[in-house]
Chain A
Amino acid sequence: MRKFSPITFGYEWECLLLKDDLSLANERDIREVANHIRATIKGSETGVDYIHMLGLMLELRSPILRNFGELRESTATHIRAVYDECNKRNLLFLPAGGHPALGNAVGLHVHVGSIYSYPAATKIANSFMRYAPCFIALAANSPIYGDRIGEFKSYRILTHADFCSVTRLLMSPNLAQWHWGEDVCVKVDWHSTIELRVGDGASSIEFVIEYVAFVTAFMLRMAEEPLTKPSVSQYEEYLINRWRAAKYGLQATFDWDGHPVPVADILDDMLAMARFDLIGVDGLKLIPRMVATRQTQADWQLMLYKTVNDTFAYTRMLIDTVKTDDPFTKYIENAPTLPVCKPEPIENYILANIEKETPYSMLYDLLLMPYGMLDKYLNKLIKTGHIRMQCDPRYGKRFTRV
């Protein structure tokens, strides 16, 4: 018996609607655009979501989809409707992983269903978890994030999407509970789905279509596999690979069952495994080309950014560029192949974030790594004389670089 029955899927594609001065559009205007789209596109669940303390963003929510044809049709219809509504209201439409001049999390979430057993969905999510960093690498699209530029390809994931895409807790299926914003989030209680929240908001329509299809087809395949709970070492690999995916995108090398493997090779295997046939896909074009060249939307954005080197001017330029006929797809056709990057040790990243009296909690926030695992790296840094630890009854453990 199939675990997903009937097979359904959909997406929440968060996007920014801005004014001419690149500030967020009025909340009323954004709600009006969302309401109009929902009213005119059959089944669309489009609405709004909050940007912490600042206002709203538009969330293009597909209807419940059953096959690739519906996905393509629905996405194209939504995009046409957004541009029409924005033109009427003199708003600017910015689909990306964040506002480049501001740095805030904007995501692309994929839901796969229908599944009605929480423990069964938890088993699938547990197994799927180690593949989440592969999708992070693929969807990386937030390399310009306020005053942080180019060191990471997904600053959104580096900052855990403002804590709305956090590492998955490893739970026994029978003891599993709902936990906010996990990378792979069981939503059997809210809907009938497992949600992958790791994707950066995309700038390419074709990417959205292929990414949603790929996530769905791969999750359907996972559900057919014998489901195993990841080991502690696999869980640690997931956390480290997550960080590497955010930093290097498709140029990353992952730790995979104790061996270094380029993420592009893992994605190649995943593409071969995915059950595209179950959702009526003949094959993908854009994603295999991205994997072959190790190019992401983040690399494309960084290439564009270099022409102006200014986050404000760039934000406007990106808005105007994505309006044209899916420029990322055109770029990828002739894009050069990028090399595989040798990963930087994770302890270097931890050390770079320790200055004076750095609280333990802040170091936890960096990777959302269980404290027992984090201690291993901190003890290593203490042993090698890079940091020292202070214990204070009021503030707990704090760390200072030597």
Chain B
Amino acid sequence: MIQRLIAEVDDIQKLREFNNGGVNICEVKLKVRIIDSILKTKLPRGTKGKTGIIVRKCIHHVPRLGDHIVLTEDETRKFIKADVTTRRVLQNRFVRVEILEPLGARIGSLAYKPRGMDIFAPRLDLQKAGWLYYGGILDTLSFDDVTSLWNKEYKYTAKGYEYKKGKLKLLKHISTPRELPAVYVDYSITVGYKRKLDFGHHIMLPRHGLGQHNIVFMPLGDRVEHLRYQRPLSPWIRLYDYSGLKAGGFIHVDEQRSICLLCCAAADKIEVVRINPHQQGLTVTLMFKRNELTPTTVAKYRVLYLVGESFYVDKYTVAIIARNLVDKKFISIVRSGKTPSYLYLSVHGMDIKLKLSQKTLPGIGTLYVAEHKPMLMPTEVQIKGVTYA
């Protein structure tokens, strides 16, 4: 991802003029000085005021001294390598996570290492507030204005990423457990006075490559709901709300890239999952139930994201499987509204039955986990199903 820089023309040198198919073209060498950027974030130190040379072919209009121009992506790369230098990377043997501090300390990149695939790849998008990056996992303090923290700068402290506005203090801690293909996001929020707090996660899957092979499944106890992405022709909003997520989670699957993202939180705390397939991409908002806070109470939330390459879903359960290339093992993680006992896998066309063991995570609930080490690492492994106790 790269934004665009705005530059002022300091010097112009005409290189040549020629005619191409009846059109007069003037090639010019421009000395430009960076004055601003399309995205209103803090630019890497030393970028503003930097000068450089670019060459452009001009038709009808040759820039004049003092004119402002917008640099192309390639021209921008001559001045900055990345938009956000204040990024932190966390990783384990399964995932690599990038946190972009100036952009709401969002999880801007979540890559499944065995396949080298990133679930998010933010792109520039215009919203009412101006240019923003669409993509990643963000916090939201409002059901209706989910973009309020898109470009907010979080401060990195020993306790985590901190955001303050008035008396509101949001502390976010992001970690990757050693043994799971997962990212934990923990929150402590204080508001300093008596008020109702809305809080949720806003997951933005940008549209590049996003087609009808992207699908979100939700186990609702009596049925499995699914919503397949269709890029709408109109910019109108269509919202789909799902409540009563029995497994306390849902799963996004990219069938083309064989990559899945399972999101879970304490089932009794989730109010709704809202899906909005729109022109910019697929947005999933996980909203927690309203929390009535006093000046002394601390609201705590925890969200877990699991990444894998194959999945299973039924009306009670979502499951995911990921491979660990270091130990040459597969790990299956099941999140369910019931108590699953066994998991069935298909490896090299053979069915394998694995006993699931319980793993209780504070703030999340119970996960059921099984590991399998095949003789040969297969290219594809599938979860066939689970049985319940």
Binding site for B on A (CB under 8 A): 20-24, 52-55, 99, 101-104, 147, 158-160, 162-163, 303-304, 307-310, 312-313, 315-317, 320-321, 323-324, 327, 330-331, 334-336, 355-359, 362, 365-366
Contacts and interface: CB of A to CB of B under 8 A. Distances in A.
B128 to A, nearest CB: 6
Given A307-B57, A310-B73, A313-B70, A21 B233 contact: no
A313 B233 contact: no
B59 interface: yes
A330 B61 CA distance: 12
B60 A312 contact: no
B162 to A, nearest CB: 28
Contacts of B57: 307
B59 A304 contact: yes
A55 B128 contact: yes
B71 A313 contact: yes
A102 B126 contact: yes
Given A20-B6, A21-B36, A162-B235, A320 B72 contact: no
B23 interface: yes
Identify the interface centre among B75, B131, B211: most chain A CB within 10 Å of its CB.
B131
A163 B60 contact: no
29 contacts: A20-B6, A21-B6, A21-B131, A23-B126, A52-B236, A53-B128, A53-B237, A54-B127, A103-B279, A162-B236, A163-B234, A307-B25, A308-B72, A310-B73, A310-B74, A312-B73, A313-B4, A313-B72, A317-B61, A317-B69, A327-B59, A331-B60, A334-B22, A336-B21, A336-B22, A356-B228, A362-B230, A365-B234, A366-B233
B338 interface: no
B68 interface: yes
Nearest to A366: B233
A357 B236 contact: no
Interface in B62-86: 63, 67-75
A21 B40 contact: yes
Contacts of A160: 233-234
A162 B234 contact: yes
A189 to B, nearest CB: 25
Contacts of B67: 320
Contacts of B72: 308-310, 312-313
Q: How large is the interface on B (under 10, 10 to 19, 20 to 34, 35 or more residues)?
A: 35 or more
B56 A308 contact: yes
A366 B73 CA distance: 32
Please give me the 8 A-B residue pairs with the lowest Cβ-Cβ distance, nearest first. Answer: A355-B212, A310-B72, A334-B22, A327-B60, A316-B70, A313-B72, A312-B4, A321-B61
B70 A54 contact: no
Given A20-B68, A55-B128, A365 B40 contact: no
Nearest to A328: B60
Interface string B117-140: 000000110111011000000000
B212 A357 contact: yes
A163 B236 contact: yes
A379 B97 CA distance: 47
A102 B124 CA distance: 9
Nearest to B39: A21
A23 B236 contact: no
A269 B188 CA distance: 72
A358 B56 contact: no
B60 A324 contact: yes
B58 interface: yes
A359 B230 CA distance: 9
